[in-house]
Amino acid sequence: MTELREGDILDGRYRIGPRIARGGMSAVYRAEDTRLGRTVAAKVMDPRFHDDEAFRVRFEREARAVARMTDESLVNVYDQGTDPQGHVFLIMELVDGGTLRELLRERGPMPPHAATAVLRPVLRALSLAHSRQMVHRDIKPENVLISDVGGRVKLADFGLVRAAADASVTSNSVIVGTVGYLSPEQVTGGAVTPASDVYSVGVLLFELLTGSTPFSGDTSLSIALQRLEKDVPAPGSVIDGVPPEFDDLVAIACARAPEDRFPSAAEFLEELDNVAKELSLPPFQVPAPVQSAAHRAAESATAVTNEGDWSLQTPDPVNETQVEGLFPVEPYRGETTLEPMPDRARWDDADEEVVVEEPERREAKKDVPGRNRTRTGFALWLVIAILATMGIGLGSWWLGSGRYGDVPSITGMSQAQAYQALTDAGFEPEVGETYSDDHPVRTAAGSEPVAGERAVRGNPVTILMSLGQPTVPAAPPDRSAERYSQLLSERTLTEEVGDAEFSETVPAGAVVNTDPPAGTTVSTGSLVTVILSKGPAPVEVPRVVGLSESDGTDLLKRVGLQVREVTREFDADAAEDEIIAVSPEEGEDMERDGEVVLTVNNGIAVPNVSGRSQSEAESRLREAGITIREVRVDPESTRSAGTVERTNISRDSTVDPDNPEVILYVSARVNVPNVLGSSISDAREALEDVGLELEITGNASEGDTVITQSPFPGRAAQEGDTVTVRGI
């Protein structure tokens, strides 16, 4: 597909003339409608974007948006479609004159009465759009056109218009192209509402009064970000002579928070009129720019000599002569009502366009000298003339009003009844569904187009069958928050995100619950609070100090924590393998499956050798890896002589593995041996062997025989005690 050239015929109907303007995605040409014989503007999408569905949708959206609105402050769209060569186009009225941008370049800042004259029709056009729940999203001087005819101001380019409920994301192309007029929510990608257009008009008013936009910078991004951090300054702080009332208008319109602005263009317009009345601003006719692109492109442009300053100008009567220019119209004679433009997307035959023919003027034929007309010939001619006249009349009726019909009201009907009513009215019924608070299930809740709207006979009309009131949907299997938002929107429900909750089973960011609960029947448009998951609740580090390493590890696993590392240190007061510290500390919150570090006692446990013989005790200590530094007598021990009483390490304590020594305490008690019948010298030797001393009573000698002893044999005695004997 090639680019159009002057003289080409677009869609078999529009003869392309000189190019008026060129943008990033389209070009605008002067063109002639060869059917109606009038000059129009043809906006044709650049061939580079032929396969880009988004751009094609933008063209169709612009046509639909303007076709549904009628006001002298709007640039009308007459036609939209794609010709056989693949050119996507809009046909618009040709507004003679130029753009507000060109006017500002020629004349500079405006006084308040001139700015008011420009702003009124802009706000009026936006009020109409806002009343139909549409947001323009691209207010700027380039989209405000001024006609040579009566100085009429018109708002153009509805290519970015969106339904207010759907305009939540700002496209990158808008940020790059019109960054100076974006609202803060358009910069951040927030919800775009009529208040967003109000902000852009506030910036436009600032520029009209001062000659520049409020923010500047080296890059588009830096300019865009400034409006998130700064308020638009008062115009009076930039240029002298601005009344405080206009400073207040700009301040309210350009408030950073949408709720602090005028809620729509209608409220802005009402306040502007109040200020104009309060200041007694005079009426003013806005002059069209002289050196405009339209004037340069028009071969027969009417010279405009309205040069000079912004002095007061009295509006002239409407000029009956059309001056062709950028986007233009035929002479304005008051508000007119246009039929909504048919949906070109449903027409494959370009010949099915609405054509309003001018009455054909015919000159009566004069008799040719010498021609003989018989009565029969005249009668035949008369019949043919009558039939032709009837054919022309019927054709005119069909091309005019006969082709259209009013969509009948089908509300409350059954599907079969509604189908029959639309068929009888000449339309092609289709069936759709919609939620409704007022109409029972399986009855018609309305139609699209709506009842009473005129539409081309034979075109589809959708029967909107009621689904009744919506129910709150259940979360999808994957509990996706994004998918759930779509489910709510499909049921007309609006969404509010509530406080997130912990969940052991639902991953973070996914839908846990809703209020009202899933399955609840609610009114259309109801608010549903969506509860998202914060993931599993945090885990508190349990008390593990004092437990063995194995018991502490098992406890940590039960509560959902893992042991990342075990370090070992000596603690004489702790048992072997006892946990002596944990990090993070006990009682701190951690994410589930978090990791902790344990510190475990590496001391060697001393075996219990109390009550064992000294030799047996020494053997067991050596087996445990412990050496005996010293053996001491425990004088207070009541155990048998030679029995181990204790070690110097208390029970459940450990010794340092780097110095594993203990002191062994043994009992000092001995059993008195039986020395009766022995010689005194033998008795002395036996007693000394166990640490006892011999004492003789009487006159016995070493060779005498022991006949008595005290203490008696087998009695316990301490080492060093005396045993008294008597001998004969």
Share above pLDDT 70 across residues of the chain, in percent, rounded to a whole number: 80
Return phi, psi of residue 434, to 5°. Answer: -155, 150
Structure tokens belonging to residue 717: 């005695």
Q: DSSP for 11-66?
A: TTTEEEEEEEEE-SSEEEEEEEETTTTEEEEEEEE-GGGTT-HHHHHHHHHHHHHH
Q: How confident is the model at residue 282 (pLDDT cuts 50, 70, 90)?
A: very high
Cα–Cα nearest to 318, from 184, 150, 443 = 150
Share above pLDDT 90 across residues of the chain, in percent, rounded to a whole number: 42
The label of the residue with tokens 């609105």 reads 69
Mean pLDDT (whole number) for 461-477: 92
pLDDT digits (tens, 9 = 90+) for 186-199: 888 788 899 999 99
Which of these is catalytic: 138, 148, 157, 197? Answer: 138
Q: Is the pLDDT of residue 483 over 60?
A: yes
DSSP H helices, 601-675, are 614-623
The label of the residue with tokens 């939209």 reads 80
The per-residue pLDDT for 352 is 29
Q: Is the pLDDT of residue 682 over 90?
A: yes
The label of the residue with tokens 């618009």 reads 92
Amino acid type, 119: L
Q: How confident is the model at residue 630 (pLDDT cuts 50, 70, 90)?
A: confident
Is 240 in the active site? no
Residue 368, classed as helix, strand or coil, is coil
Most confident range, picked from 21-35, 41-55, 450-464: 450-464
Full-model pTM: 0.44
Cα–Cα nearest to 284, from 155, 152, 156 = 152
**CB-based burial, 467-493: b 16+ in 10 Å, e otherwise:** bbbbbbbebeeebebeebbebbeebbb
Q: Is the pLDDT of residue 349 over 50?
A: no
Angstrom CA distances, 707 to 351, 473, 711, 725, 728, stand at 155, 113, 13, 7, 7
Please, which residues have CB within 8 angstroms of residue 483's CB and are 6 or more apart in sequence? Answer: 476
Strand intervals (E) in 407-450: 428-434, 444-448
Q: What is the mean pLDDT of the chain?
A: 80
Q: How confident is the model at residue 380 (pLDDT cuts 50, 70, 90)?
A: low
CB 669 within 8 A of CB 700: no
Q: What is the sign of the dihedral through the CA atoms of 202, 207, 208 and 210?
A: positive
Q: Which range among 165-179, 620-634, 700-714 shows the weakest confidence by mean pLDDT?
A: 165-179
The 3-state secondary structure of 285-349 reads CCCCCCCCHHHHHCCCCCCCCCCCCCCCCCCCCCCCCCCCCCECCCCCCCCCCCCCCCCHHHCCC
Q: Is the pLDDT of residue 365 over 80?
A: no
Structure tokens belonging to residue 302: 């009417």
Query: CA–CA separation, 102 vs 120, rounded Å?
Result: 19
Q: How confident is the model at residue 529 (pLDDT cuts 50, 70, 90)?
A: very high
Q: Which range among 63-77, 430-444, 522-536, 599-613 shows the weakest confidence by mean pLDDT?
A: 63-77
Mean pLDDT (whole number) for 512-534: 94
CB 605 within 8 A of CB 654: yes
Mean pLDDT (whole number) for 554-558: 93
CB 443 within 8 A of CB 414: yes
